Amino acid sequence: MKNALAAAALTTAFGCGLLHAQQAAVSGIKVDWTKTDVTSNATPAYQVVVNPMLERGAKMHDGSFKAIATIGADYVRYVPWLPYPKLAVAELEPPTPEKTSWDFSLIDPMVEDLMKATAGHSVIMNFSTMPAWLWKTEKPVTYPADPNQVYWTYTRGTDIKDPTYKEAADYYVRLLSWYEKGGFTDENGKFHKSDHHYKFEYWELLNEIDFEHHWTPQEYTRFFDVVTTAMRKVDPDLKFVACASAIPAKHGEMFRYFLDPKNHAPGTPIDFLSYHFYASPSKGEPFEAMQYTFFDQADGFLNTARYVEQIKHELSPGTKTDWDELGAILPEDDDSNHGKKTPEEPALYWNLTSAMYAYLYIEAVQLGVDVVGESQLVGYPTQFPSVSMMNYNTSEPNARFWTLKLLKDNFGPGDRFVATSGGNSDIAIQAIQTSIGKKILLVNKRQKATTVELPAGTTAQAITYTAPSTGDHAAATGRPQGNAVSLEPFEVAVITVQ
């Protein structure tokens, strides 16, 4: 039944041409349910980057926070970030003996809505953008009066004014106190009351430190020690995520220095390490070629990850790993981010990026990664439109969101990834023993339909999937006939088997 419905939907939506390249059936798959390759530590997650579409009354506000509540994920990474200084920085002007500029009036509503939508689930807070006045710059850094005007050059300077990092620590202590302790006392002894009494489990210190302020390993490690020590005095239970490297392949010196306990103050815990990956095709590359570019670049990232994880296991084996930005960025986003009109993403682009995330999830489990974070919930023209998990035209979740939910609803820590072999390079296949039964995860990495023959003796009870035919809708369900499963281009399917 699933096969017929999918074919009809695809023919209607994209024309018959999409299905004509059906390849030969993938066969020869073997599964040994008695042999566990690895027990999963991995939790599927995502990040929410602050921008004007998350403001109350904005077009995408209601749909986005509804999506957050719907998915019910843990480790939600929340990042007030540099393109909108008034939405990200709570003290934009340096304090004087006469006054301070603390102002949460634009920041609080989004935090409040996030905490309401994520109730019962963990959040990773990351006020990644430090006040510009903490840094040495040739002249004072300005910012737009309009809080919703995008501004890409707020983060400047490579030398901090206070090399003891006490000023920076004081800023983050006051942020944490505002949200966890009902307020804080400012630089002039004045108390600012908030009435917030949230309890955060995680706080990530800064974002993409290889880009933003270009931290050296020595500087960032010292900063981390000073700031986390100060923040733990406010909340002794708070755990910290570190580095958030943009290009981990070029950041080996940082990982090796930061993860070595002898470079930290005695007793400083290193709870989590984080680093990022985005597939990035060349400008002008046809969409048909991107299926190869994305997965080839993903494999390159996985080689880097093996190197980083080896360093971690050698130096700090108790540290967990969060891949907290995984996605793709089309080259047109650069023009869009600077106000130029660009074409919308190709029709199957969202399914391609969904399939890539599902593939990375499988590989993350094999590497022992703890959090597999898709990036990012809300993007739109002028704010990385090709990275969005929401349809910025309809304000409804797109295929990337629904694929994440499909994985989150079916898999999690404690699942046993059992020995799985066979297939070919176009299809990722993994048999998984979950707490509620046996499942097989299939990922079609190519823009062509195919059929996968499950191992002999395997009985498929049900299939849940995201694919071109499901569009911007929740994963569909069906029942395969026999042991052959038909996959649409870039389909992600979970097969429940006996």
Q: Is the peptide bond before 376 cis (omega within 30 degrees of 0)?
A: yes
User: Is residue 407 within 8 Å of 308, Cβ to Cβ?
Assistant: no
Structure tokens belonging to residue 343? 């074409």
Chain centroid, CA 81 distance in Å: 14
User: pLDDT at position 17, please?
Assistant: 30
What residue has token string 């059992």?
418
Structure tokens belonging to residue 331? 């080259």
* Long-range contacts of the stretch 299-303 (C-beta < 8 A, 24+): 300/249, 301/248, 301/249, 301/277, 301/360, 302/360, 302/363, 302/367
User: pLDDT at position 10, please?
Assistant: 46
- Length of the chain, in residues: 498
Structure tokens belonging to residue 313? 């296991």
CA dihedral 45, 50, 55, 61 (to 10 degrees): -30
360 to each of 228, 308, 363, how far by Cα in Å? 31, 16, 5
The radius of gyration of the chain from alpha carbons, rounded to an integer in Å, stands at 23
User: Is residue 371 within 8 Å of 316, Cβ to Cβ?
Assistant: no
Q: 45: buried, middle or exposed (CB in 10 Å: 19+, 13-18, 0-12)?
A: buried
User: pLDDT at position 22, please?
Assistant: 56
Single-letter amino acid, residue 80: P
What residue has token string 């409804």?
396
What residue has token string 């506000």?
61
User: pLDDT at position 23, please?
Assistant: 63
Rounded distance, CA 382 to CA 11, Å? 33
Structure tokens belonging to residue 21? 């390249």
User: Is residue 131 within 8 Å of 91, Cβ to Cβ?
Assistant: yes
Structure tokens belonging to residue 487? 């996959």
Rounded distance, CA 142 to CA 131, Å? 11
132 to each of 49, 143, 147, how far by Cα in Å? 19, 10, 16
Going residue by residue through the chain (498 aa), what tens digit of pLDDT does each one get? 465 444 444 433 443 233 334 566 899 999 999 999 999 999 999 999 999 999 999 999 999 999 999 999 999 999 999 999 999 999 999 999 999 999 999 999 999 999 999 999 999 999 999 999 999 999 999 999 999 999 999 999 999 999 999 999 999 999 999 999 999 999 999 999 999 999 999 999 999 999 999 999 999 999 999 999 999 999 999 999 999 999 999 999 999 999 999 999 999 999 999 999 999 999 999 999 999 999 999 999 999 999 999 999 999 999 999 999 999 999 999 999 999 999 999 999 999 999 999 999 999 999 999 999 999 999 999 999 999 999 999 999 999 999 999 999 999 999 999 999 998 999 999 999 999 999 999 999 999 999 999 998 898 999 999 999 999 999 999 988 888 999 999 999 999 998
The domains of the chain, with CATH numbers, are 2-38+417-497 (2.60.40.1180), 42-411 (3.20.20.80)
Structure tokens belonging to residue 56? 């109350």
Sign for the CA dihedral angle at 211, 216, 221, 226 comes to: negative
CA angle 277–70–56, rounded 5-degree value: 85
